[in-house]
Amino acid sequence: MRVLPWVLAALSLPSSACKSGAWESLLPMAGGERQEHSVVALGGEIYVLAGFNGVPQTVATVEAYDPVANTWRTNVASINDGAMDVPMHHANVAVADGKIYIVGFLTGNSFTPDGRVFQYDPGLNTWTQKTSMPAGTERGGSQVAAIGNIIYVAGGLRGGTVTDFSSYDTVGDTWDTTLPNLPAPLDHGAAGVVGGTFYVLGGRADGITGLSAAVYAFDPAAATPMWLQKTDMPTARGGVAGAVLNGLIYVMGGEGNPAGGTGGVFDDNEVYDPANDAWSVLAPMADPRHGMGAAALVDRIYVPGGGDQQAFGAVDRFDAYVP
């Protein structure tokens, strides 16, 4: 069996604070510092898409990490509309049908919403523009996940925080905007699908300090699909990363921490068990960050980049959490 060259991150915590799981420190991101980017797993690799670099400038670049080879590659096609690159941040991204989809995003320092949709084919290493979000529903910073070929987009930013809930059919290349709105406006939260149910966890509304601990569940296969409120997160947070592994939804990091000496960033790492509607507190992040994405592969959750200071403070650090 091949042994991967990971180094276990040291956690300088009192014994009473130690929780289950451990963090590993991996190779820094090849493309340098990044935050407010998107992260997905596809074809055994972890993809990092767009976001702000350390300047900060918005970028259209994409890079991929191979955990078996422990290498980054930067030969992934930049996000483009066929004529030019499209720099973006807070992109709504999900994987469906073996492809990566961007379904709305924000642009520039003005955080202007853009409803364009792009599909990435890893076999061809090309981006193709698809049907945009309907006019008036454009947004980024949403809570996003896919059930089969349907990508669900809940909440997000369009000037302020919105309650919009819509879905994109990757096969039909069509949008459905008739879904019931979120019970409350949310952006910068986590999302995940377990057992065919779409979950929204945490987030915030109208600014960094408008933190939420709420958890909402939507079952599209229910006789009357509607949002149901579940048990709150132990720690209200926005700017988090979320990932699903073995039927559990992990929520990591965030910003808006009122505790002193943290740079406004949370190190919290908590996991939600949908089957029991219950939360557990896990080993905190060794390198607390916000504005990052996360994705699960095999038995680990990979967390590349993010900001180590509230607002801007992009880093190239790359960690994995092993439950």
Give the domain ranges of the chain. 28-311
Q: How many CA atoms lie within 13 A of 292 on its CB side?
A: 36
The pLDDT of residue 18 is above 70: no
What is the pLDDT, as a whole number, of residue 260?
A: 66
Judged against a pLDDT cut of 70, whether residue 12 lies above it is answered with no
Name the token pair of 96: 């469906």
Q: Give CA 321 to chain center in angstroms.
A: 15
Is residue 7's pLDDT more than 60? no
Instruction: Tell me the mean pLDDT in the region 148-172.
Output: 98
Compute CA 288 distance to the chain's CA centroid, rounded to the nearest angstrom.
16
pLDDT tens-digit profile of 281-312? 999 999 999 999 999 999 999 999 999 999 99
Q: What is the pLDDT of residues 66-77, one digit of tens each?
A: 999 999 999 999
Structure confidence at residue 16 (pLDDT): 33
Average pLDDT over residues 214-223: 97
- Identify which of 260, 212, 268 has the alpha carbon closest to the alpha carbon of residue 241: 268
pLDDT at 2 over 90: no
Structure tokens at 216: 């909402």
Are 264 and 209 in contact by the 8 Å Cβ rule? The answer is: no
pLDDT score recorded for residue 98: 98
- Span 82-137, pLDDT tens digits: 999 999 999 999 999 999 999 999 999 999 999 999 999 999 999 999 999 999 99
* Residues sharing a CB contact under 8 Å with residue 15, sequence separation 6 or more, in sequence order: none
For 262-277, the pLDDT digits (tens) are 899 999 999 999 999 9
Distance CA 22, CA 41 (A): 21
Average pLDDT value over all residues in the chain: 94
Identify the pLDDT of residue 280.
98
- In this predicted structure, what is the pLDDT of residue 3? 34
Residues 47 and 295: their CA atoms lie apart, in Å, by: 9
Half-sphere exposure of 29 (CA within 13 A, CB side): 30
pTM assigned to the model = 0.93
Tell me, what's the pLDDT at 259? Answer: 86
Q: What is the mean pLDDT of residues 139-160?
A: 98
Q: Who wins on pLDDT, 19 or 190?
A: 190
Q: Which two tokens stand for residue 165?
A: 């809930």
Confidence at residue 19, expressed as pLDDT on a 0 to 100 scale: 78
CATH architecture of the domain with range 28-311:
6 Propeller (2.120)
